[in-house]
Structure 1
Amino acid sequence: MARTQGSHSDITGPRIRSAALRLFARHGYAAVSMRQIAKEVGVQAGALYNYTPDKQSLLFRLMREHMQDLLQAYAALNSSSDPQEALRGFVGFHIRFHLERPDEVFIAYMELRNLTPENFAEIEDLRRSYENAVEKILRDGQRSGRFAIADTKIATLAVIAMLNGVMTWYRAGGRLSLDEVEQAYWDMVRRAVTA
């Protein structure tokens, strides 16, 4: 099969993922067709199958890449051995990382239901790895007497859910700067877990 004129795999593949990301975030996975993605990229619908077997694979790849990027970036963070400082670092990291990727975040949470069971299980494992890193901070703080937490798993999920709320309302140039928002959320998280 002849390649569409002007098509290059190192350019077209990323363009397909970028278009799918935008369209899935804007319209929802179920409402987007492969034809719409192809049109957005400027290729024939059949050409998409040179880059992805199907729409499900495309969604899974977007979600997996997002989670891998998240875990890699968090692992590169110089985390303190002090639980309170480590938690403070996590709060800032989570807010800033996710605010730079609104479409990825939307898809990562809202489109889980559209994954096949096998794909869901893999994404769930990646999510659990991130949650476990946060729970370790909370457990360390609990053991040292710095944090008063009855259930570290529930506290982990509550902290992440609270921080995810920033993505729904924060706008650059609004009433509060990002630094002020981050400080306000750190104050809330700190008060929620501190002994």
Structure 2
Amino acid sequence: MARTIGSHGPKTMEAIRKAGLRLIFEHGYAAMSLRQLAAEVGIQSGSLYNHISTKQELLFVLVRDHINELLRQLDRALQGKQQPADKLRAFVAFHVSYHMTRKREVFIANSELRSLEPKNYEEIVALRGAYERRLAEILTEGVAEGEFEVVDIQVATFAILSLLTGLTAWYRPGGRLTKEAIVAAHEKLVLSGVAPGAKPDQARSSRAPFADIAARDGSES
């Protein structure tokens, strides 16, 4: 018989969320069952319905809360930033730092988007769009003020987000580079990519500082 930790209250719901996150990440949404989830939490299967009505609801809540938290923390990171370059640097630093510590949430939000029912899918896509617009607005402002040179704002937005989010596929804590060095490398990539009139010799000369960072910080990405 499952070890019962109580079928009511916020502690149990938090346990359900954590267990659901891990099980979906490890096995996939389709393969995870509510019976498996209940056993992981330590409650009877029927007790799950005191907190979630369906497996679909759990997935939706996990993804929705992840993106809402992403938006909340991003807005806080951008507070007080006036110049487009400062805003873009803050965006990159936040996005990279956040995604270093939320691998499961990021993976599920991306890979299981297809598993959401139409109404839930539309709501999540709208939230993702709000996050993308934060970056697009920074780029648009930078172009208007002559700080950035961007051929297409939408293409640049998607390309930058893909670059920054891609670290979840290879980043491992305790590696060769420190977190600070990884953030600095991404800042350099993004800011140099939108800088107006960047010359090839300037790009070549920018490699040396990061060789120094890699040697000095000694961590593996």
- 1:112 corresponds in structure 2 to 113
Within the alignment, does 1:130 sit opposite 2:131 as a pair? Answer: yes
Deviates more, 1:7-16 or 1:171-180: 7-16
Q: CA deviation at 1:6?
A: 3.9
- 2:177 corresponds in structure 1 to 176
Length-normalised TM-score, structure 1 = 0.95
- 1:26 corresponds in structure 2 to 26
Consecutive aligned runs of 4 or more in structure 1 exceeding 4 Å deviation? none
Alignment of 1:35-184 (within 5 A): 35-77=35-77, 78-184=79-185
Give yes or no for contact 1:92–1:182 (8 Å, CA) kept in 2.
yes
Structure of greater Rg: 2
Give yes or no for contact 2:7–2:47 (8 Å, CA) kept in 1.
no
- Shift of the 137–179 alpha-carbon distance from structure 1 to 2, 3 Å rule, reads same
Aligned-residue CA RMSD (Å): 1.2
Letter in 1 for 2:93: G
Within the alignment, does 1:17 sit opposite 2:54 as a pair? Answer: no
Q: CA deviation at 1:7?
A: 3.8
* DSSP 3-state at the match of 1:121: helix
Aligned residues: 192
Give yes or no for contact 1:79–1:89 (8 Å, CA) kept in 2.
no
CA–CA distance in structure 1, aligned partners of residues 6 and 44 of structure 2: 12
CA–CA distance in structure 1, aligned partners of residues 143 and 6 of structure 2: 58
CA–CA distance in structure 2, aligned partners of residues 100 and 138 of structure 1: 26
Q: CA deviation at 1:170?
A: 1.3
CA–CA distance in structure 2, aligned partners of residues 29 and 6 of structure 1: 25
CA–CA distance in structure 2, aligned partners of residues 166 and 94 of structure 1: 10
Q: Deviations over 1:80-100 (max 9, x none)?
A: 121111100100000111211
Q: Structure 2 stretches of 5 or more lacking a match?
A: 197-221
- Shift of the 79–163 alpha-carbon distance from structure 1 to 2, 3 Å rule, reads farther
CA–CA distance in structure 1, aligned partners of residues 58 and 83 of structure 2: 40
CA–CA distance in structure 1, aligned partners of residues 44 and 92 of structure 2: 44
Letter in 2 for 1:177: T
CA–CA distance in structure 2, aligned partners of residues 6 and 147 of structure 1: 55
